[in-house]
């Protein structure tokens, strides 16, 4: 009797293996197809990013001067590069993963992406720009190919939505829906946008429009898990409101949601509207009578020997309180040296806590700053000396030269430079008294935005590279001049570099003697 075959080698089982092999081959082809699809996707990414990096690296500052480019850079590095990483990880590639892992520590995180999105919304509010202006790159005086896709607009809306900021959420979800309706391709679905938009509109108190949007959602996706319940809830709520007010049903407006459809909620800043109007160049109180009282002159620092041969050119910017601008305060070479010294140590700018005197970050000040000592470089020492010569005030008790960079959306909301009576310990640690005066150097021109504004008396001072402005924060009596509350408007396009010297009271007793009244 011959030897029998093991069960797996019997014909029946072998034919099963043949079919199994066929399935494996089919699976192999699907794997190859998936790899080719993945490779095609990676190639597409590479081509797009190659074009982007060629454009961005040719002029980094110019590229980042546009707020949409700044936002999309944050989004790409935080979100999209992670998506690409996940794609490549489907079949590990040690070289790519190792490289991206090394650089990941330098990538922006979710908080950075959220911050960039909020910067766009801040610009939107301050300069009264609708979402389409950003989406299509149509900013004042700027022509750019920087655009926001449907998915970008949807993500902007979700950033606001997650922060319970339904005012901005509505504007950005509406823009995403408009672009999708216009035929633009997107990952996000119409149902997703309508879901978020209808609820955000409801939160803004517009129930008729929320009903219309929810009906549209039901038509697009009849099986949507929340749409039916939301629709019934909205309809009951509206019916109840109409009965209570004894009013008839009015259908929702057919006008698309846009800037001005809803009122922006009030916030912590009482002078928000006047401050933002000044940033736009509106509401300026510069009358012809006031202008006639403004002059220009050569300033020699009351006979200072360093200014006798080359006095400073001084222009009046405002009469009361007196604000002056000095022309040719800093040379281009000095500006570049100051920026070179500051860049390695730029950190999120801080404000002094009025109760403790400790420096801390705050949402109303969005910039990067660094402090430079006179001993670090002859340029810093020279600039400090020049400030002392021009103002006639000693800088021995002044704070270090602070350098600040305001990128797109960077701002410092209305504030006082001096400490008020309710915050007596603000500068106690310094031991040099209150901030007597502010000397502010503009170290760059700004393409759009970035003015220094004074809401109390309606003044706006625009950055001019190489110039400086100076004003006193205190009266001669030592009392604070509350009119000097000021703000740095958000940068719309460009990058704003400034440096400032806060001059303190101590050491000025004979340089700026006390007056006879409280407001001298």
Three-state DSSP state, 147? coil
Give CA–CA dist 466/386, Å, rounded: 13
Q: Answer for the pair 457, 434: CB distance below 8 angstroms, yes or no.
A: no
Last residue of a domain, one of 74, 106, 138: 106
Q: How confident is the model at residue 33, as a pLDDT?
A: 74
Say if 47 falls within a structural domain: yes
Q: How confident is the model at residue 9, as a pLDDT?
A: 38
The pair phi, psi for residue 328, each rounded to 5°, is 55, 40
Residues 324 and 466 in one domain: yes
Query: Angle at the Cα of 401 (from 396 to 403), degrees rounded to 5?
Result: 175
Q: Answer for the pair 393, 436: CB distance below 8 angstroms, yes or no.
A: yes
Residues 97 and 44 in one domain: yes
Residues 321 and 385 in one domain: yes
pLDDT single digits (tens) 97-129: 566 676 676 767 888 889 889 999 999 999 999
Q: What is the DSSP letter of 224?
A: -
Last residue of a domain, one of 80, 106, 132: 106
Q: How far is CA 455 from CA 324, 415, 481, 519, in A?
A: 17, 10, 14, 20
Say if 286 falls within a structural domain: no
Which domain range does residue 78 map to? 11-106
Q: How confident is the model at residue 5, as a pLDDT?
A: 36
Q: How confident is the model at residue 20, as a pLDDT?
A: 54
Q: What is the DSSP letter of 151?
A: H
Q: How far is CA 81 from CA 95, 109, 114, 252, 446, in A?
A: 15, 12, 16, 41, 31
Half-sphere exposure in the Cβ direction for 356 (13 Å, CA): 5
Say if 124 falls within a structural domain: yes
Q: How confident is the model at residue 21, as a pLDDT?
A: 67
Say if 169 falls within a structural domain: yes
Per the DSSP assignment, residues forming a β-bridge with 52 are none
Q: How many CB atoms lie within 10 A of CB 516?
A: 7
Domain of 367, CATH number, reads: 2.60.120.620
Q: How confident is the model at residue 244, as a pLDDT?
A: 82
Q: What is the DSSP letter of 204?
A: T
Q: How confident is the model at residue 6, as a pLDDT?
A: 37
Q: How confident is the model at residue 202, as a pLDDT?
A: 96
Number of domains in the chain: 3
Q: How confident is the model at residue 88, as a pLDDT?
A: 76
Q: Answer for the pair 127, 449: CB distance below 8 angstroms, yes or no.
A: yes
Beta strands in 177-290, from DSSP E residues, in sequence order: none
The pair phi, psi for residue 454, each rounded to 5°, is -125, 95
Residues 32 and 120 in one domain: no
Q: How confident is the model at residue 503, as a pLDDT?
A: 98
Nearest to 399 by CA among 315, 506, 516, 239: 506
Say if 370 falls within a structural domain: yes
Ranges of residues in the chain with a pLDDT under 70 are 1-29, 31-32, 91-100, 102-103, 105, 107, 348-366
Residues 129 and 93 in one domain: no
Q: How confident is the model at residue 81, as a pLDDT?
A: 87
Nearest to 307 by CA among 216, 400, 390, 391: 390
Say if 6 falls within a structural domain: no
Q: How confident is the model at residue 248, as a pLDDT?
A: 76
Last residue of a domain, one of 185, 213, 245: 245
Say if 45 falls within a structural domain: yes
Three-state DSSP state, 415? strand
Nearest to 160 by CA among 152, 151, 169: 169
Say if 80 falls within a structural domain: yes
Q: Pairing mode, if any, of strands 491-493 and 452-454?
A: unpaired
Q: How confident is the model at residue 183, as a pLDDT?
A: 96
Residues 95 and 118 in one domain: no
Residues 92 and 121 in one domain: no
Residues 211 and 193 in one domain: yes
Residues 102 and 194 in one domain: no
């Amino acid at each position: 009797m011959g030897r029998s075959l093991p069960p797996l080698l019997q014909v029946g089982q072998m034919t099963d293996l043949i079919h199994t092999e066929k399935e494996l081959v089919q699976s192999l082809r699907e794997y190859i197809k998936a790899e080719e699809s993945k490779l095609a996707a990676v190639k597409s990414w590479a081509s797009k990013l190659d074009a982007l990096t060629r454009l961005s690296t040719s002029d980094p500052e110019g590229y980042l001067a546009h707020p949409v480019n700044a936002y999309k850079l944050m989004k790409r590095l935080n979100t999209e590069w992670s998506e690409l990483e996940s794609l490549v990880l489907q079949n590990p590639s040690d070289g790519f993963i190792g490289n991206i892992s090394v650089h990941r520590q330098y990538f922006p995180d979710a908080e950075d992406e959220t911050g960039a999105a909020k910067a766009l919304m801040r610009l939107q509010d301050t300069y009264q720009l609708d979402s389409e202006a950003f989406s299509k790159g149509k900013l004042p005086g700027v022509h750019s190919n920087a655009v926001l896709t449907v998915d970008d607009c949807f993500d902007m809306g979700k950033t606001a939505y997650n922060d319970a900021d339904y005012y901005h959420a509505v504007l950005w979800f509406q823009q995403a829906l408009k672009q999708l309706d216009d035929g633009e391709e997107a990952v996000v679905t119409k149902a997703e946008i309508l879901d978020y938009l209808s609820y955000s509109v409801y939160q803004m108190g517009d129930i008729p429009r929320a009903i219309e949007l929810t009906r549209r959602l039901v038509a697009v996706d009849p099986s949507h898990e929340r749409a039916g319940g939301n629709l019934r809830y909205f309809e009951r709520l509206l019916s109840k409101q109409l009965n209570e007010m004894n009013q008839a049903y009015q259908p929702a407006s057919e006008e698309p949601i846009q800037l001005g459809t809803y009122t922006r909620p009030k916030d912590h800043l009482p002078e928000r509207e006047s401050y933002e109007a000044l940033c736009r160049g509106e509401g300026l109180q510069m009358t012809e009578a006031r202008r006639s009282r403004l002059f220009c002159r050569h300033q020699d620092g009351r006979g200072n020997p360093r200014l006798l041969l080359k006095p400073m050119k001084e222009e009046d910017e405002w009469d009361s309180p007196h604000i002056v601008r000095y022309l040719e305060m800093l040379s281009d070479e000095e500006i570049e040296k100051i920026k070179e010294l500051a860049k390695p140590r730029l950190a999120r700018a801080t404000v002094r806590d009025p109760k403790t005197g400790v420096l801390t970050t705050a949402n109303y000040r969005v910039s990067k700053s660094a402090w430079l000592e006179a001993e670090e470089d002859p340029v810093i020492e020279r600039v400090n000396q020049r400030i002392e010569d021009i103002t006639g005030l000693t800088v021995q008790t002044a704070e270090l030269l602070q350098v600040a960079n305001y990128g797109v959306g960077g701002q410092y909301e209305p504030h006082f430079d001096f400490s008020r009576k309710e915050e007596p310990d603000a500068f106690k640690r310094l031991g040099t008294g209150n901030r007597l005066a502010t000397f502010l150097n503009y170290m760059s021109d700004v393409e759009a935005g970035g003015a220094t504004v004074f809401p109390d008396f309606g003044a706006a001072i625009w950055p001019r590279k190489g110039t400086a402005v100076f004003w006193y924060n205190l009266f001669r009596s030592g009392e604070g001049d509350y009119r000097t509350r000021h703000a740095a408007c958000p940068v719309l396009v460009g990058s704003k570099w400034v440096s400032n010297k806060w001059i303190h009271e101590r050491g000025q007793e004979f340089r700026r003697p006390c007056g006879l009244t409280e407001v001298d």
